[in-house]
Amino acid sequence: MLSHNTYPCITLIYGPMFSGKTTKLIELYKETLTKNKNCIAINYELDTRYGKNKIISHDGLAIDCYSITNLDDFIKNSHTKEVIANADYIFINEAQFFETIFESVLYLNETLKKNVILCGLDLDYKREKFGTMMNLVSSATKVYALKGVCKLCNGASEFSHRTVANSLQILIGYSQYIPLCEKCYVSENGLS
């Protein structure tokens, strides 16, 4: 549940792939709409797994969105500036992909006085920090640290394991990854 305080807040949702991040974001979006608040949703443009201009969770929940690659440009663009100005809440999916996510979210929240709810991966497939999204933890009023279910042992998954040979940090698609717990991740990657 979101806090509907009078002062705008940042809510951060993070975890590995298949942990329910997008589902949580969509649930909060729909809950906020019931409070008669003006909401907009933003998704990373290259995330076209389920279609463009939609945020769709693995379990089929969906909302309309703006599909963009540069959050800073979207905020300051003369065509979309009014959309931002009229929004009470801004929901951002796949936040780890936006290069200016840290600066943009602080600008939206502190300068424009917007409630910002964002979700994304905290770590990449090598267990390395993914972008600057996690720098927002100290500025967030509410943080959801989600875990999924390990594909190998059914324990709590904390990591996204890549199942294809490709060294790019950004490889979009759910079929190239499985969620793993620490023990299974270490074993699958020959780290023990």
- Catalytic site residue from 82, 94, 103, 188: 94
CA nearest neighbour of 90 among 168, 142, 29: 29
94 among known catalytic residues: yes
Q: Which two tokens stand for residue 95?
A: 């936040």
Three-state SS for 99? Answer: coil
Structure tokens, 39: 């909401």
Amino acid at 54: K
Alpha carbons 61 and 49: distance in angstroms, whole number: 14
Residue 9: name the closest of 36, 28, 30 by CA: 28
Q: How far, in Å, CA of 129 to CA of 184, rounded?
A: 20
Q: Round to whole Å and give the CA distance between 79 and 97.
A: 23
Query: Looking at the annotation, which residues are catalytic?
Result: 94
